[in-house]
Structure 1
Amino acid sequence: MGDEKPPDVGFSSDEVRKEPGPDPQPCSDEADHVAIRFKVYRRRWFILLVLCLLNCSNAMSWLTFAPVADESGAALGVSVDQVNWLSLVYMVTAIPLAAISTWMLDTCGLRPTLILGAWLNMLGAVCRVVGVLHWVPPAWRFGVVLGGQVVCGAAQPLVIFTPTKLAAVWFPRQQRATANMAASMANPLGVLIANLLSPLLLSSSGDLFILLLVYSTPAVLACFLATLGIRSSAPPTPPSPSAQNSTSEPFLKGVRMLLRNRAYLLLLVCFGSGVAVFTCFSSLLEQMLCVKGYTNDFAGLCGALFILCGALGAAALGAYVDRTRKFTEAIKVNMCLSSIGCSAFAVFSQMRSQRVCVALVCCAFGLFGFSIYPIGMELSVECSYPVGEATSAGLIFIAGQVLSMLYMFLLQALTRPLADSPLSVCAEGETFSWRVPVLVLAGLWCLGTCVFVCFFRTEYKRLQAEEETEEDGEKYNGGAHTIQ
């Protein structure tokens, strides 16, 4: 994991050096200014890989049971409503631990946070496997599996807050959005794998033990790599001016600053609501579609298309924003387009035999909606700087988790039992109408979009601080400049 050597002909866009020549005579209060050179290290890609694997594994554990809720309930001897708690418990666990995780990440650094998160994620995954072993009494199985979900849920805030921090500490300015995108999209990639793999494994083997054993493998691997491979929280030499200055405010002071930041509060509400909508969509998709005759396999395919198109859109959007710095404009356009996809899903999902249309609107909703998540996290840092990256991103996550719980309870409360549904492929005795809930879900997304597009305005404070740092370097160091 050696250093990346800059080419002899120049420097990267984030390296600042002092040109040969006579030094100017500084004033007395300028005598301590020296030329700053920023470096990047190859090991940043390894840390990014570990974080991606950890995020992916944790998300796989989160939604292991959602695509196969009826089969999982039968195997564990519980109802579908109880199976939903295997997803909801992530939110219940993460909310009280989120503040501690945020403080730990901004105070203790990346390494201890990631290692603790990796161990909790592995222990939770192993506990779930133990819970379905044949020697465990049937009456205990759901409780043990739920306990494993609680431990995995405790790991979630430790890893899901980390992308913005990792991008800020280890990556140069022109790679931050891309790095944040890769680490953030690893979480929905885990959701994608769960949507595809759970129905496939459970239908082929019929054994919940095999399913959970397969999902425990990446958790064990991520724990091994994090424990032995991550050796420091920050690089020896910073990659950018903001990393060099390291001016993050203390946790409590940062929270107070955020609560007085109008632009951030608007972002908090709108993006928190957006995270909640995505959570409900992913968790309840199979139940929304089965009543109209769409199978679990098709629901899993729709969930996979939603995530896959979102990842592709995020990759393109991250590259665009890295190049143009148009965070706000990109998000507003995508939110408007995704509102059309979400509204179309609310209509087509309640029609019979519309597989192509349902699949296409899931693609559109993912492409334009899910893709804005990592850019929104970067925007939260830009509008709240110098508050710590984990604090600004973490509060949005907490808001998303709280609203996810409220939305999940609301949507399930709005369902109505159906006396007769001849096309239903839902589990026997679990047939409900989702017509009203899906319309409410689309309305919540459109409302958040309208508020954000109409009222959100902000300055990019971190970028401005970096530009001022570079200008100071040129002023005080006799022509120091950045070679493109």
Structure 2
Amino acid sequence: MSSGQSRSRWFVIVSYALLAAVTQLLWVTYTPITKASAEYWSVSVDAVGWLSQVFPLAYVVLALPFGYWADRSFKGTLAIGALLTGVGALIRVLPGYEYSLIGQIVISVGQPLVLNGINKLAAQYAAPERRPLAIAIGSASLFVGILVSTVSVPLLLESKGMPVVVQSQAILSAVVVTLFLFALRIRPAFADDTNATVPIGSIWSNKWVRQYSFLLFLGFGLFVTLTTWLEVLSTDSGFNAEQVGLALGAMTLAGIAGAAFIPDWAMLGLRGRGVLCASLAASVAMLIALAANSPFWLFTALLALSGCLLLANLPIILSSAEAKAPSGAAGTVTAVLLLSGNLGGIVLALCVQFMLDSRTLAIFFLVAVVAVTVPVALKFPSLTAAAGSKSSNAADQAS
């Protein structure tokens, strides 16, 4: 492959990462301005909550059929997902809560079409030895989108007002969608078998799929639960809302760095297993520090460390899954794994919500969740062998 061809295919990967970031940016638009949005539209806070809650609900319903569809018509599903993202962002520009809700629903339908492509895009456009990096870029971009939206939306709302918030995001979405659709015209270097039919039941019968799903269910679920309920859980520690925001910002920034840089290093031997286990140890230390009302600086440092490692787990697991997935099933496998992560966020957050009257019980429930995950993490396989097997298959295809 020439250097020009390599650069053009990395252009596809980077433009995809931008699109994935935009889907997350649009998802959490109203989360940091819930009360202000309710006042602006004269609706309830619960009504504004649905503007973000529709996303995990849509993902749970649509992830598997859309993942299966992606394995049959990959570029078509990506293009439709991108267009739905752009159209939904434009609908939100129309004044009124109902248009914001319709726009969010449209974007939420497009989201699984986009995100299910993380592994398959890496498999088709990156050389086997560079696929972990491609997957890491796609994974890290998700959290970049969340961070950008969380930081920029309150500032824009305060200085320019709600119309500018949605207009600026619509313009950004239109530019990124156009860029991605242009990039999608570039032919992949490594085509997989789109005619191979692998039923979801057959995929789920693989022990490693169930193992990885469990790890993402609890690991990603823990991250979502912390971002949802940390302000409430930290009340007895004396942290104010501004401090909680700073701590979550540090966690997200560290997570972006971890997701971007750790997975490529972790692909050698059992390093991936080490990162998974280290993330669990850091999470336990952070939760104990929270329960013990530790100083803010210590808790924030432990939260950032756990965030760095927890978010690195996602691309590590996805990279291993890409190496193990049957030919033509990367989209379905990714859908199963991301569905498990989303379900974990919903289930664990709800469990903690029911325990909020007893802060200590809620925190040690999360400690128990981490403890249950340890035996499964200790069985995480060496990544080198799986990647090597896939590399030889890809080399045979390319020749």
Q: TM-score range by the shorter chain?
A: 0.7 to 0.9
Q: 1:83 and 1:410, CA in 2 relative to 1: closer, same or farther beyond 3 A?
A: farther
1:151 corresponds to 2:106: yes
Give the equivalent residue in structure 1 for 2:123.
Answer: 168
Give the equivalent residue in structure 2 for 1:320.
Answer: 265
Return the index of the structure with the highest Cα Rg: 1
Query: What do residues 195-236 of structure 1 show as CA deviations (whole Å, max 9, x unaligned)?
Result: 22233333444x22222223223211111112333214523x
Q: Partners in 2 of 1:293 and 1:226 — Cα distance?
A: 46
Q: Partners in 2 of 1:463 and 1:93 — Cα distance?
A: 36
How many Å apart are 1:342 and its aligned residue? 4.3
Give the equivalent residue in structure 1 for 2:343.
Answer: 402
Q: Partners in 1 of 2:378 and 2:270 — Cα distance?
A: 17
Q: 1:347 and 1:194, CA in 2 relative to 1: closer, same or farther beyond 3 A?
A: farther
Secondary structure at the residue paired with 1:415?
coil
Give the equivalent residue in structure 2 for 1:452.
Answer: 376
Give the equivalent residue in structure 2 for 1:360.
Answer: 301
Give the equivalent residue in structure 1 for 2:196.
Answer: 250
How many Å apart are 1:179 and its aligned residue? 0.9
Q: Partners in 2 of 1:290 and 1:233 — Cα distance?
A: 53
Secondary structure at the residue paired with 2:53?
helix
Q: 1:437 and 1:85, CA in 2 relative to 1: closer, same or farther beyond 3 A?
A: farther
Q: Partners in 1 of 2:328 and 2:90 — Cα distance?
A: 37
- Asked if the contact 1:384–1:461 (Cα under 8 Å) also holds between the matched residues in 2, the reply is no
How many Å apart are 1:385 and its aligned residue? 3.4
Give the equivalent residue in structure 2 for 1:385.
Answer: 326
Q: Partners in 2 of 1:151 and 1:176 — Cα distance?
A: 30
Give the equivalent residue in structure 2 for 1:185.
Answer: 140
Q: Partners in 1 of 2:9 and 2:393 — Cα distance?
A: 26
Secondary structure at the residue paired with 2:188?
coil
How many Å apart are 1:121 and its aligned residue? 0.9
Q: Partners in 2 of 1:370 and 1:79 — Cα distance?
A: 33
Q: What is the identity, as a one-letter code, of the residue corresponding to 2:166? A: L
How many Å apart are 1:189 and its aligned residue? 0.7
Q: Partners in 2 of 1:68 and 1:442 — Cα distance?
A: 31
Give the equivalent residue in structure 2 for 1:424.
Answer: none
How many Å apart are 1:263 and its aligned residue? 2.2
Give the equivalent residue in structure 2 for 1:73.
Answer: 38
- How many aligned positions are there? 397
Q: Structure 2 residue aligned with 1:120, among 77, 81, 84? A: 84
Give the equivalent residue in structure 2 for 1:335.
Answer: 279
For structure 2, list consecutive stretches of 5 or more residues without a partner in the other structure. none
Q: What is the identity, as a one-letter code, of the residue corresponding to 1:112? A: G
Q: Partners in 1 of 2:43 and 2:359 — Cα distance?
A: 22
Q: Structure 1 residue aligned with 2:15, among 40, 50, 55? A: 50
Q: 1:387 and 1:62, CA in 2 relative to 1: closer, same or farther beyond 3 A?
A: same
Q: 1:313 and 1:344, CA in 2 relative to 1: closer, same or farther beyond 3 A?
A: farther
Secondary structure at the residue paired with 2:3?
coil
Secondary structure at the residue paired with 1:369?
helix
Q: 1:379 and 1:338, CA in 2 relative to 1: closer, same or farther beyond 3 A?
A: farther
Q: What is the identity, as a one-letter code, of the residue corresponding to 2:227? A: S
Q: Partners in 1 of 2:49 and 2:246 — Cα distance?
A: 20
Query: What do residues 373-395 of structure 1 show as CA deviations (whole Å, max 9, x unaligned)?
Result: 11111112233434621111110
Q: Partners in 1 of 2:106 and 2:393 — Cα distance?
A: 44
Q: 1:293 and 1:80, CA in 2 relative to 1: closer, same or farther beyond 3 A?
A: farther
Give the equivalent residue in structure 1 for 2:220.
Answer: 275
1:220 corresponds to 2:192: no
- Asked if the contact 1:55–1:186 (Cα under 8 Å) also holds between the matched residues in 2, the reply is yes
How many Å apart are 1:254 and its aligned residue? 4.3
Q: Partners in 2 of 1:468 and 1:53 — Cα distance?
A: 30
Q: Partners in 2 of 1:383 and 1:368 — Cα distance?
A: 23
Q: What does 1:443-482 correspond to in 2, within 5 Å?
A: 443-448=368-373, 450-457=374-381, 460-461=385-386, 463-467=388-392
- Asked if the contact 1:67–1:300 (Cα under 8 Å) also holds between the matched residues in 2, the reply is no
How many Å apart are 1:315 and its aligned residue? 2.9
- Asked if the contact 1:93–1:153 (Cα under 8 Å) also holds between the matched residues in 2, the reply is yes
Q: 1:162 and 1:121, CA in 2 relative to 1: closer, same or farther beyond 3 A?
A: same
Q: What is the identity, as a one-letter code, of the residue corresponding to 1:228? A: F
Query: What do residues 15-60 of structure 1 show as CA deviations (whole Å, max 9, x unaligned)?
Result: xxxxxxxxxxxxxxxxxxxxxxxxx532112111211111111111
Identity %, equivalent residues: 20
Q: What is the identity, as a one-letter code, of the residue corresponding to 2:287? A: S
Secondary structure at the residue paired with 1:42?
helix
How many Å apart are 1:290 and its aligned residue? 6.9
Query: What do residues 303-326 of structure 1 show as CA deviations (whole Å, max 9, x unaligned)?
Result: 32212111212233123135x254
Q: 1:265 and 1:310, CA in 2 relative to 1: closer, same or farther beyond 3 A?
A: same
Q: What does 1:11-26 correspond to in 2, within 5 Å?
A: none
- Asked if the contact 2:286–2:302 (Cα under 8 Å) also holds between the matched residues in 1, the reply is yes
How many Å apart are 1:283 and its aligned residue? 3.8
For structure 1, list consecutive stretches of 5 or more residues without a partner in the other structure. 6-39, 417-432, 474-479
Q: 1:412 and 1:128, CA in 2 relative to 1: closer, same or farther beyond 3 A?
A: farther
Q: What is the identity, as a one-letter code, of the residue corresponding to 2:155? A: L
Aligned-CA RMSD value: 3.0
Query: What do residues 148-198 of structure 1 show as CA deviations (whole Å, max 9, x unaligned)?
Result: 211111121112121211111111122111111011110011111122223
How many Å apart are 1:277 and its aligned residue? 2.3
How many Å apart are 1:301 and its aligned residue? 2.8
Q: 1:43 and 1:415, CA in 2 relative to 1: closer, same or farther beyond 3 A?
A: same
Query: What do residues 75-110 of structure 1 show as CA deviations (whole Å, max 9, x unaligned)?
Result: 33344444333222101112222123212321112x
Secondary structure at the residue paired with 2:174?
helix
Q: What is the identity, as a one-letter code, of the residue corresponding to 1:336? A: L
Q: Partners in 2 of 1:48 and 1:469 — Cα distance?
A: 18
Give the equivalent residue in structure 2 for 1:229.
Answer: 183
- Asked if the contact 1:195–1:301 (Cα under 8 Å) also holds between the matched residues in 2, the reply is no
Q: Partners in 1 of 2:341 and 2:103 — Cα distance?
A: 22
Q: What is the identity, as a one-letter code, of the residue corresponding to 1:191? A: I
Looking at secondary structure, tell me which structure has more helix per residue.
2
Q: Partners in 1 of 2:360 and 2:137 — Cα distance?
A: 35
